[in-house]
Chains A and B, each alone.
Chain A
Amino acid sequence: MQKKEKNNSRRNFLKKLPVLALGTVALAGCSSEELDEFFQQNFRTLSKAEKNDIVKNLEKKYSEKYGKEFVVSDKPATEGILFGYALDLSRCIGCRKCVYACVEENNQSREPQVHWIQVLRMENEKGIDVHYANVHYNPDLVPEKGHFYMPVACQQCRNPQCTTVCPTKATWQTEDGIVVVDYNWCIGCRYCMAACPYGARHFNWGEPNIPDEEVNPITHYLGNRPRTKGVVEKCTFCIQRVRDGKYPSCVEICPTGSRKFGNLLDPDSEIRYILENKRVLVFKEELNTQPKFYYFFGV
């Protein structure tokens, strides 16, 4: 049997034109918001008016989806502020309250589970050694004898490797030092996750699931607004709170007061007092990531 030859004649091409026309009609059927989102430029190049339109659209979309009024802020960084964080290793008792306060504040998916904070239980005898760390400890009571606890989230590096590897420039360090992700531009390649030495970036392998009544409707475009399947997310120091002057929610929940936050450029801030008066370390210093997240010993 002879193989049928593919007909590439001009007549045939013209015959297929109606299909193209139908496709165009289908595309036109998309709402203008969906088209806008599809053709959205990089967030950093947008004008104030364009950003306004985008957040208005998102507010409408989320309000309909979750059945409550949403606020999506695009508040920019303030000059003269560089955020820093310090965590007291001698006081943390490993209760994991911060983990779940973060999940609620930042709209992390409950199922599949996403946790931005991981509390590592370390052996007193081994010191800070991830080889002996355990995140799945589950005793009746904490703290446990012979152990100390080291919560790890994004270290907000001054020299972040996650942003340099991003092929779409969907993640960057803002002027106030917070490393953010634009979920509209993230293509889910997960290069950033491979580049981060702290395991601080998390991928939405499935459609994120949050019960409507638990969704936090006070959001920031670059922070805790609801995400979709296939994008990477991470700690932003609660950008929606700290750019409004409030403490991050992990600071407010910590029952031992181990978590400290403030402006590194303000010589009178708590964080500067710690850096100048306490014994301070950064995690994996040898990698030269230069974190703005410090660990210290308060006693």
Chain B
Amino acid sequence: MKDFNNKFLKIFFVLLVLLYGCSESHFFKQDMVNAEALTSSDEQKNNIAVAKPPFSEDIFPCSECHAEQETNPERRLLDMHEEIVDSFHHDSENRWCLDCHDADNRDFLRLASGSLLKFEESYKLCGQCHGDKLRDWKVGVHGKRTGDWNGNKQYLLCVHCHNPHSPKFESLQPLPPPVRQEDIY
């Protein structure tokens, strides 16, 4: 695992240096995080950037509060994250916070394998169950892409459109319908 992390870091730094050399780089201008974890040839060719995770204001790093608190894995009413518990609707019968959030280091997510995951790569966590969606997302079919159809593209994370605690896409108010022919004078 350590070995893997080392390799990972090296690749990341090489990419960072390469990107820094590129003055026209979209990444820094757009305040995007490089999605270095996507390694298929298509993604490398097309320079994909993933937007930063949409944290609520002043909530991250989680360890700021949690470091001093004792870990309690029990399902219970929470004082702090009440709104999340209220709206929790994501296989809520079978799951609770620490199935996705790491118990020992709250600034990270946790895969089923036990390995830690940065919030920037949360799509890997989602992909554990929603593999078909992850596959489609990587090739640009699930989810929205913006930018250049033939060059730099920006991806959104799953959590930009789906609340991870209640992932059903929320209904929207439609914009006004076109004018009816009989209403034109």
* A275-288 to B contact mask, C-beta < 8 Å, 1/0: 00110000000000
**A257 near B179: Cβ-Cβ < 8 Å:** no
Give the interface centre of B45, B173, B178, B179 by most chain A CB atoms within 10 Å.
B178
**A274 near B141: Cβ-Cβ < 8 Å:** yes
Q: Which residues of B are found within 8 Å of A141, using beta-carbon distances? A: 171-174
Instruction: Choose, from B13-21, B82-90, B102-110, B145-153, the stretch at the interface.
Output: B145-153
**A118 near B178: Cβ-Cβ < 8 Å:** yes
Give the interface centre of B42, B171, B175 by most chain A CB atoms within 10 Å.
B175
* B139-181 to A contact mask, C-beta < 8 Å, 1/0: 1111111111111000010000100000001011111111110
Does A128 make an interface contact (CB < 8 A)?
A: no
Which B75-117 residues have a C-beta within 8 angstroms of A? none
Does B31 make an interface contact (CB < 8 A)?
A: no
Does B64 make an interface contact (CB < 8 A)?
A: no
Q: Which residues of A are found within 8 Å of B174, using beta-carbon distances? A: 94-96, 137-139, 141-142
- Which chain A residue lies CB-closest to B153? A247
**A246 near B149: Cβ-Cβ < 8 Å:** yes
**A247 near B148: Cβ-Cβ < 8 Å:** yes
Q: Which residues of A are found within 8 Å of B176, using beta-carbon distances? A: 96, 138
How close is B90's CB to chain A, nearest CB, in angstroms?
18
How close is B123's CB to chain A, nearest CB, in angstroms?
14
In the complex with contacts A247-B148, A270-B145, A256-B169 CB distance below 8 A: yes
Does A170 make an interface contact (CB < 8 A)?
A: no
Does A290 make an interface contact (CB < 8 A)?
A: no
* B14-56 to A contact mask, C-beta < 8 Å, 1/0: 0000000000000000000000000001100100000000000
In the bound complex, CA of A247 to CA of B176 (Å): 25
Give the interface centre of B136, B145, B147, B174 by most chain A CB atoms within 10 Å.
B174
Instruction: Choose, from A41-49, A50-58, A213-221, A258-266, the stretch at the interface.
Output: A258-266
**B172 near A298: Cβ-Cβ < 8 Å:** no
How close is B185's CB to chain A, nearest CB, in angstroms?
10
**B169 near A99: Cβ-Cβ < 8 Å:** no
Which A35-82 residues have a C-beta within 8 angstroms of B? none
In the bound complex, CA of A136 to CA of B177 (Å): 5
Which A107-123 residues have a C-beta within 8 angstroms of B? 112-113, 115, 118
**B141 near A136: Cβ-Cβ < 8 Å:** no
Q: Which residues of B are found within 8 Å of A273, using beta-carbon distances? A: 139-141
Does B184 make an interface contact (CB < 8 A)?
A: yes
Give the B interface residue count (CB, 8 A): 31
In the complex with contacts A142-B172, A247-B146, A115-B141 CB distance below 8 A: no
In the bound complex, CA of A260 to CA of B139 (Å): 11
Q: Which of A118, A242, A274 contacts B149 (CB 8 A)?
A: A242
In the bound complex, CA of A269 to CA of B148 (Å): 12
**A270 near B140: Cβ-Cβ < 8 Å:** yes
**B151 near A268: Cβ-Cβ < 8 Å:** no
**B144 near A268: Cβ-Cβ < 8 Å:** no
**A246 near B147: Cβ-Cβ < 8 Å:** yes
In the bound complex, CA of A53 to CA of B174 (Å): 43
How close is A178's CB to chain B, nearest CB, in angstroms?
14
**A246 near B42: Cβ-Cβ < 8 Å:** no
- Which chain A residue lies CB-closest to B148? A245
In the bound complex, CA of A245 to CA of B150 (Å): 6
Q: Which residues of A are found within 8 Å of B146, using beta-carbon distances? A: 247, 251-252
Q: Which residues of A are found within 8 Å of B161, using beta-carbon distances? A: 255-257
**B140 near A135: Cβ-Cβ < 8 Å:** no
- Which chain B residue lies CB-closest to A112? B184
Q: Which residues of A are found within 8 Å of B156, using beta-carbon distances? A: 257
Q: Which residues of B are found within 8 Å of A93, using beta-carbon distances? A: 169, 171-172
- Known contacts A141-B173, A270-B140; 18 additional CB pairs below 8 A are A95-B174, A96-B176, A112-B184, A118-B178, A138-B177, A141-B171, A246-B147, A247-B146, A251-B146, A255-B144, A256-B144, A257-B145, A262-B149, A263-B150, A268-B41, A270-B139, A273-B140, A298-B141
Binding site for A on B (CB under 8 A): 41-42, 45, 136, 139-151, 156, 161, 169, 171-180, 184
25 residue pairs of the A-B complex, CB under 8 angstroms, read A88-B141, A95-B172, A96-B175, A99-B175, A141-B171, A141-B172, A142-B171, A242-B149, A245-B148, A245-B150, A246-B148, A247-B147, A247-B149, A257-B156, A260-B141, A262-B149, A266-B150, A269-B149, A270-B140, A273-B139, A273-B140, A273-B141, A278-B141, A298-B141, A298-B142
